[in-house]
Structure 1
Amino acid sequence: MTTSKHIILIILTLSLLLCNVCIYAATVNYSVRGKVIDKQSRQPVAYANVVVTGISGKGASTDSLGIFHIEQVPPGIYRFEATLIGYKSAVTSEYLVSASTPFIEIEMEEDENMLAAIVVTPSPFRKTVESPVSMRIIGLQEIEKSPGGNRDISRIVRAYPGVSFSPIGYRNDLIVRGGSPSENRFYMDGIEIPNINHFATQGASGGPVSIVNA
């Protein structure tokens, strides 16, 4: 009889422990962090409202740096919607909210219909900075999804019209509108970088991979 009582007591104890584990697993929530930026200027969008679709009243506002932090989000698959006056509503793709939820970046596009009239006044000072023939903004998602790009900006740029590359070996030289690779200039935050490539050949301009962090 004593042995049977001990067995029953052990079974009851294990049952209570399993119940506590199940209750804890059912009630655990996670926090979600991210950033809202302007799609064209890549600048942070302050004081935008970000909500979790499918959960009423669950959301947060971005701070002056465009960062938002949503607490106590139940585990699951959700989309996030960002809204702000003067911008079109932006809805992200589906994210799995768990202990390893990635940092979410939401791109918002200005709504021309919501913008008020502005007055443009020319500056009396003449600027002599060279203007580019054309400008393209490359987002991080485009860099990551580019086939064969290997997160190398030079390899992604050569897929644009008017840009070609050197067929010699494992290199990422850029031939822009028929010009030699040595005729190109590279700037980062207004500062010229003479050579942006790792393992560049001496006397040449290209290399196997770019040193610029995507």
Structure 2
Amino acid sequence: MGFLTIAGWAQQGGTVRGNVYDKATGEPIIFGTVYLDGTEYGTNTDENGFFSMGNIPPGNYRLVATYIGYDSVAVDIEVRPGRIVQQQLYMVESSVNLSVVDVSARKEKARSEVAVSALTISPRQIEALPSIGGQTDLAQYLPVLPGIITTGDQGGQIYIRGGSPIQNRIMLDGMTIFNPFHSIGLFSVFETETIRTIDVLTGGFGAEHGGR
């Protein structure tokens, strides 16, 4: 009975939600990354720049928004039990070129380079795969790789070497992307024509990836 009583009085989490906009134009930032610094809580904005994170433990946090080509923005917030924190974030375009682009430009790789537990894929390989509706997408190509399976009817999840989807880490030019696959599982948020190369690491990756 004592355990039941304690559980009944457990603190309720709060919700953090809001919108991210371009400060100069007022346009929404689409598929931007929003997260609570120092935690595992994070999400991406939708087509309206809206984001929402629920069941956040009460406490003080730093809310951070990042997007390619923009300076990151951060604000301090307080999450209270059962309350909603509504926060608007405004981002400014960065005047500094991304160094990762310069590094990628100096790399000369084969279109498909196989290493230990690693694959490098080119957009041409994705486009060569028969596609649904004539539109090629990374989500349709991943299942042809060894050790990777996807589910299209349960949230567009990917499973690598028997691991769970939460153990995967998807990154775009060094930034973590949350929920990159649409619910139908056939398409991702990445447009094939904008991709330079794709590195798929299924094991043996370095400590910089944080165990994911």
TM-score bracket relative to the smaller structure = 0.3 to 0.5
Report the structure, 1 or 2, having the larger strand content.
Answer: 2
Asked which structure has the greater RCO (Cα within 8 Å, sep 6+), the reply is 2
TM-score by length of 1: 0.41
Larger radius of gyration between Structure 1 and Structure 2 = 1
